[in-house]
Chains A and B, each alone.
Chain A
């Protein structure tokens, strides 16, 4: 990313984003209040949502839903329409932001080709999710108590057993954990209104019977890693690797992502989370040793997600992610975005930046400034604010939240005691390479083994 590109990215606008988010904020306040009794202000906010979508294919469904909900009838189909309306607003915001990003960076992006849908058949399970989500919507966040949170436990447990519904499972589990940790919510000083409405909206949409887009093709070739983004809540950890794919046969290079996720518990934290991902040795070796990967016949979904099969990959030669970012990132084609995923939170576009000034919090490049996303430095990797401050080059993900762009570092080159050092999020994939971190981990013993022993002894009695 050059200084002119950064300046173009962070310039004012895009037009209309503020107005769209105002409508969202009104809806979020109405949801916070709950749909059991709609007062004057929430009714106006819902009417504004219907108004904003007036010229879209959703107009009829949303205005009917607003009318019914405002009159006190809260049916599943109406909540689905409201969630769809809110998601459509964010879809528009997402598209405007991504277009701005692609223009600024000169990034080529594939266009979305409609694919055949796949229908989900777990009707009872999805209905169970919708019942819980409807209860949340009726009572509002401040009306959520311990019993209501706990009533989702069985549904979440059942969802976790269904691979195709794992996304909905981790989403509901994350939301339930936050609600439980926040109780009594009625007395909270402030509520994460946008966040919880986001989670509720996505869960409501995913709880609908499909068909959802399926599809995908098999690809082979060489995968050059750019970096690892780590996601985590109490009961899940996921490593999402961003990479450039050189398809065999000489087709143009593509930007792809590939993910491995493991279920966990809240006491498994820090570098220990890598131990849960040991079933993917080729990927972990490539991350820890900075190697490329040769992949054969791996499914690539239309949204640019490679569905990882460790047995179809083998680590190749050494490949420095900084060299990949410097030489290959600019020319690789980015994937189209899966329609349902169009929300700004999903924007995570890899970029390479160098020649900047850093105070550890903000990066200054020419006339432009962008904040480092310090909340996204995972405790399972070596990156620290001190390394960012001393950094001269960075591979990162551009993100957008709360009306601002930020840069989430995945790897930095820094100068420490006059020596150049490089640190990558995935460096500890095969165990911490920093003696201090290794010692800290060893101090607590093998917590994964302890819990597995307890599970083996107590679970099937």
Chain B
């Protein structure tokens, strides 16, 4: 089921596919969100495909207080990189800076190349790097929204444990051992 849930429904619309879809649609427990792969978080603590962009946060290599907010827009592949205080990244002009490259690499580890490429609407032939096919212009977008989403993300680590029955979680089984 989890594998099938990620496949698009059959385009042919045969009866078997219709019956399969009907059975799928009448299940309470399904994997709707594709799984993400574990990765190192030291350099790029936060990556997401949201709001029409691949966006995330890259920790500065030189200053532990500083982070960069980097993004690539879906479709036109516009590039943006600035510090969380909205200072433009000095290395971003004309072509992607190392922060954007790191962001793209880690996104591919986390989501897989297919999913990232599909989201950004870019064709990447097998065996080639995503960034080799991203030729967008620089278009600064404000860092605040992404940075605050990152802070919200971090805030989860400070939510206290719960020992209540939380019956709701029976809809959310841990999965993933089927390889």
| Interface presence of B95 (CB below 8 A) | no
Residues of B near A377 (CB, < 8 A) are 175-178
Q: Measured between C-beta atoms, what is the minimum distance from A385 to chain B in Å?
A: 6
| Interface presence of A454 (CB below 8 A) | yes
How distant is the Cα of A229 from the Cα of B171 in the complex, in angstroms?
12
| Interface presence of B14 (CB below 8 A) | no
Residues of A near B138 (CB, < 8 A) are none
Residues of A near B154 (CB, < 8 A) are 265, 451, 454-455, 458-459
B176 touches A379 (CB 8 A): yes
Residues of B near A229 (CB, < 8 A) are 173
Q: Measured between C-beta atoms, what is the minimum distance from A205 to chain B in Å?
A: 11
Other-chain residue from A21, A164, A235, A444 in contact with B156 (beta carbon distance below 8 A): A235
* A231 in contact with B50 given A157-B155, A375-B31, A451-B41 (CB within 8 Å): no
B164 touches A171 (CB 8 A): no
Residues of A near B161 (CB, < 8 A) are 260-263, 277, 279-280
A267 touches B39 (CB 8 A): yes
Instruction: Name the CB-closest residue of A to B150.
Output: A458
CB within 8 Å of A: which B66-100 residues: 67, 84
CB within 8 Å of A: which B1-45 residues: 1-2, 8-9, 21, 23-42, 45
Instruction: Name the CB-closest residue of B to A280.
Output: B161
Q: Report the interface size for chain A: residues with CB under 8 A from the other chain.
A: 103
| Interface presence of A217 (CB below 8 A) | no
A385 touches B163 (CB 8 A): no
B39 touches A444 (CB 8 A): yes
Q: Measured between C-beta atoms, what is the minimum distance from A150 to chain B in Å?
A: 8
How distant is the Cα of A301 from the Cα of B32 in the complex, in angstroms?
32
B178 touches A301 (CB 8 A): no
User: Quick check: which of A107-115, A246-254, A340-348 contacts chain B, the rest being far away?
Assistant: A340-348
How distant is the Cα of A416 from the Cα of B23 in the complex, in angstroms?
36
- Name 15 extra pairs, CB < 8 A, besides A195-B32, A305-B165, A447-B40: A153-B152, A167-B167, A167-B168, A171-B168, A189-B9, A266-B36, A277-B161, A307-B163, A345-B171, A376-B174, A401-B29, A402-B26, A448-B157, A450-B41, A455-B158
Interface CB pairs A-B, < 8 A, 13: A167-B165, A170-B172, A174-B168, A181-B34, A261-B169, A277-B161, A346-B170, A375-B178, A376-B174, A377-B175, A379-B177, A385-B178, A448-B157
